[in-house]
Amino acid sequence: MKTAEIAQRYLDYFEKNGHTIVPSASLVTDDPALLFTVAGMVPFIPYLSGDVPAPYPRAADNQKCIRTNDIEEVGKTPRHGTFFQMLGNWSFGDYFKEGAIRYAWELLTTSEEEGGLGFDPKDLWVTVYEEDDEAHDLWLRLTDLPEERIQRLGKDTNYWSTGLPGPAGPCSEIFFDRGPAYGIDGGPATDDDRYVEIWNLVFMQYEITDVRSKYDFTIVGELPNKNIDTGMGLERIAFLKQGVDNMYETDQVRPVLDAAVALSGKAYGADHDDDVRFRVVADHVRSSLMLLSDGVTPANEGRGYILRRLMRRVIRSMRLLGVDGPTFATLFAASRDAMKDAYPIVGADYDRLVTYALAEEATFLRTLAAGSENLDASIAAAKDAGGTTIGGAEAFLLHDTYGFPIDLTMEIVEEAGLTVDRDAFDTLMHEQRARAKADARSRKRQLADTSVYRDFRAKGETVFTGYTDWETESTVLGLLVDGAPAQRAVQGQIAEVILAETSLYAESGGQVADKGVIVGPGYELEVLDVQRPVPGLVSHTVEVTSGEVGVGQPATSVVDAVNRRAAQQAHSATHLVHAALRDTLGKSATQAGSLNRAGYMRFDFSWGQTLSEATKTEIEEIANNAVRDNLQVTTRVLPLDEAKAAGAMALFGEKYGDTVRMVDIGGPWSRELCGGTHVGSSAEIGLINLVGESSVGASTRRVEALVGLDAFRELAAERAIVSQLSTSLKTPKDQLASRVADLAASLKAAEKRIAQFEAKALESRLPELAGSAQATGAFRLVAQSLGVAASADDVRTLALQVRERVGAGAVIALGAVVGGRPVVIVATDDAARAAGAKAGVLAKNAAAVLGGGGGGRDDVAQGGGTDPDALPHALAAVTRALEIPGA
């Protein structure tokens, strides 16, 4: 049974049983506590917690998920994957334990011919929370499970909570017994891979607070509505129904594994370690493709870092499988073909998605080359020093700075006949992870408890009137002071105000929140921020500037007209620039993020190379031509499918319901789904001035522009500078560029002549320096400070010349100040090195005194630092080192 068929059978069953079928949400979640949708319940959290009324009493879905907390287990067990699909059925105050158990058992054990999944009841086991007698008895009454296949387990396995205050409850898990060939007898309590968990039924019935750990908390009481949250792992069901040993061999994953086998020339099933690598490749390529399809791009932080890590683990695994060159073109194509039927976007948008993947692969392959050079240097240094070990700190530096995997470091080091201090490396990694976890916990603690908005949201959605009205009369529905509900707020306090209607725009879609005031009888509030803490509810963060505001009072929201008008100009300008980019670069230049505020817009888009000046000028001209043409801006509210059929573009990071708002500028020329505010016609934008273009990732560029009056002021300032330069240089404006170029060339020539004079001045000191050589043991030492020098290369050249003049046993240490920083060059000849004087070691001694670092070859080396006044002491350190045997 194919994976897609299993999912369809599931959805068909629950639709037949009165459930609304809900499409999968994005892998990128709105939840500020999470980077990704890590579980099937994430999109339903507002309904499960009661913060937002559920739009349906019962639902079912197939939700895309990404989870990387068990990433090290991928490939080692039959069930761990970073991307997975979670089938779920949900009840929001409708049916409870009996219904959830009845539905699960019926679907699992009904024959395939009758539309079920066809599991034999004798292969199924169930666990329940040890204190949940009700669930235990229901399993006995509703199914033919014998008592011995219903096991009671503790909170660590059979009690669900998020680890935060809110809903919680016991759960019941269903397991499939793979048989004695896969492990020991004894049921799920053995925690053996023989028993595969396939479905978890969460009975969400309690509200908890004072959460001390995931399993240590205080139960406040029962939830107003008891909910059902279930999750059945689609990949787990697939590998069981397809008769394979693990999820990596199912129809949606195995093609990538086979492609990796073909690229490597190795056999799958021949070697355990290689098999793990093949599975890692198969899993991570699919996960990367699905993340890219939901708008995530490789980066050094946040979601982008997780994607980058997955991709780099693929490259590392392929390298360990013997493939050093590019592989993503083949691997990602295999994943596309396996997934496009279930997720058409990976086929339709593949050219754009693979561009990111190929750019990331090329970047990391270059990184590996750079890391290898550093590792080779460390290996050589260790061997020269007679050592057998590469320090853990060096291995950690390679990992942390270059992204060089530790197992690859160990492989290369072992090939060189050395070892890595793995214990020291693991200690440093543990410390780094502990810091990251502490930081994450700190951020998590800082998140507002959205349950405080539950009662406000229950009164209905906040009505936004600001598309047409910039001043709206309403009522204060609620107040929060210091995060807690309050009846009033007085002058000087910061508070959150909930209104029934508002004309103030809440930050979303790249457009920042409105500025403005809220006024009422005897009070005035300055609006500091406007946000949507839960879907459908607008909260205004305000400072009470006069009087006292209370719940139930009349309130009028007033938009700052000047700021809103400028923000609308910027937002509409963003749409024009997007259209101009696509007109100039092609349809693959799609949005990857934006920011619009009064007078300024920033737009990120998928593109892999710097824009030429001619291209930037063309984009700017196309956008300003659209302003000149005074194109009409129109908005329509219509079904999502109808908007997409009309060619409307969905914007990165936005979530859309069944009904959407479509914004047209000039008809289909610019047509996007957008909830932001806009000008009435393009001429109101005034002017768009592109002021910046830069890279924000391997395949993402950013353009920045000033809009309206801000754009004019920038051009006026540039005009004043040009006028001033024209006057100062006594050159017409149209000749300024060539005049400045001539001056720059003259300055460069003068600097070159000065450098030549300085080099000759240094060279003239050659006889004096050579004559100053003093016998120091077996060596003839010259240790002199030269004062200021033009470059370290000049000092190096002089040191080599002095070495030739001094003769056998020469050790030359010359110091100078170059660009305000101290430099020491050390050169030694064959006789000096035979006697133990190594330039690299001596340069390090000098650099330590200068407050910096140094090193190099045994014959010539360089050290530097930050303290020019320490140069005499650094040269003295070289002299002292020569007195030590073995220096």
The string of pLDDT tens digits covering residues 259-302 is 999 999 999 999 999 999 999 999 999 999 999 999 888 887 88
Query: Mean pLDDT: which of 362-371, 824-833, 849-858 is highest?
Result: 824-833
> SS3 sequence, 305-328?
HHHHHHHHHHHHHHHHCCCCCCCH
| Residue 850 covered by a domain | yes
Report how far residue 435's alpha carbon sits from residue 431's, in angstroms, rounded to the nearest whole number. Answer: 6
Report how far residue 590's alpha carbon sits from residue 573's, in angstroms, rounded to the nearest whole number. Answer: 16
Both 547 and 568 in one domain: the answer is: no
Q: Which domain CATH number covers 699?
A: 3.30.980.10
> pLDDT tens digits for 108-137?
999 999 999 999 999 999 999 999 999 999
Q: Burial-class residue 838 by CB neighbours within 10 Å (0-12, 13-18, 19+).
A: buried
- Whether the per-residue pLDDT at 424 is higher than 90: the answer is no
Both 813 and 835 in one domain: the answer is: yes
CB 43 within 8 A of CB 33: no
Which of 335, 361, 287 lies closest to 70 in space, CA to CA?
287
Structure tokens at 18: 């009165």
Q: Which domain CATH number covers 813?
A: 3.10.310.40
Packed helices 406-415 and 302-320: angle between N→C axes, nearest 10 degrees: 30
| Structural domain count of the chain | 5
Please compute the mean of the pLDDT values over residues 549-576 and round it to a whole number. Answer: 96
Report how far residue 546's alpha carbon sits from residue 518's, in angstroms, rounded to the nearest whole number. Answer: 11
Mean residue pLDDT of the chain comes to 89
Show which of 200, 225, 249 is a domain's final residue.
249
Both 485 and 580 in one domain: the answer is: no
Q: Which domain CATH number covers 510?
A: 2.40.30.130
Regarding predicted confidence, which is higher, 539 or 363? 539
| Residue 169 covered by a domain | yes
Annotated binding site for Zn(2+): 571, 575, 674, 678
**For position 586, what pLDDT does the model report?**
87
In this structure, of 249-258, 336-345, 354-363, 365-374, the range with the lowest mean pLDDT score is 365-374
Annotated binding site: 571, 575, 674, 678
**For position 445, what pLDDT does the model report?**
41
Q: Could you list the residue range(s) of the whole structural domain that residue 609 is in?
A: 564-716
For the chain, the straight-line distance linking the first and the last C-alpha, in angstroms and rounded, comes to 73
Both 611 and 523 in one domain: the answer is: no
| Residue 747 covered by a domain | no
Parallel, antiparallel, or unpaired for β 501-502 and 463-464?
Answer: parallel
DSSP 53: -
Share of the chain above pLDDT 90, in %: 57
Both 555 and 571 in one domain: the answer is: no
| Residue 5 covered by a domain | no
Report how far residue 361's alpha carbon sits from residue 281's, in angstroms, rounded to the nearest whole number. Answer: 13
Q: For residue 167, what pLDDT band results from cuts at 50, 70 and 90?
A: confident
Both 42 and 79 in one domain: the answer is: yes
**For position 13, what pLDDT does the model report?**
97
Structure tokens at 119: 């599991």
Q: Burial-class residue 325 by CB neighbours within 10 Å (0-12, 13-18, 19+).
A: exposed
| Residue 478 covered by a domain | yes
**For position 886, what pLDDT does the model report?**
43
| Residue 346 covered by a domain | yes
Both 702 and 813 in one domain: the answer is: no
Tokens 């696509």 correspond to 582
Show which of 513, 534, 559 is a domain's final residue.
559
Parallel, antiparallel, or unpaired for β 166-177 and 150-153?
Answer: unpaired
Parallel, antiparallel, or unpaired for β 810-818 and 821-828?
Answer: antiparallel
Q: What are phi and psi of 494, to 5 degrees?
A: -100, 130
Which of 508, 517, 626 lies closest to 567 in space, CA to CA?
508
Q: For residue 403, what pLDDT band results from cuts at 50, 70 and 90?
A: low
Which of 725-764 are b and which e, b meaning 16 or more Cβ less than 10 Å from the residue's Cβ?
A: ebeeeebeeeeeeeeeeeeeeeeeeeeeeeeeeebeebee
Structure tokens at 171: 């759960």
Structure tokens at 853: 């670092």
Tokens 């009070």 correspond to 523
Q: What are phi and psi of 485, to 5 degrees?
A: -55, 140
Report how far residue 422's alpha carbon sits from residue 790's, in angstroms, rounded to the nearest whole number. Answer: 44
Report how far residue 490's alpha carbon sits from residue 589's, in angstroms, rounded to the nearest whole number. Answer: 50
Both 22 and 154 in one domain: the answer is: yes
Tokens 């990949």 correspond to 235
Both 134 and 50 in one domain: the answer is: yes
Show which of 225, 249, 273 is a domain's final residue.
249
3-state secondary structure of 812: strand
- Whether the per-residue pLDDT at 819 is higher than 90: the answer is no
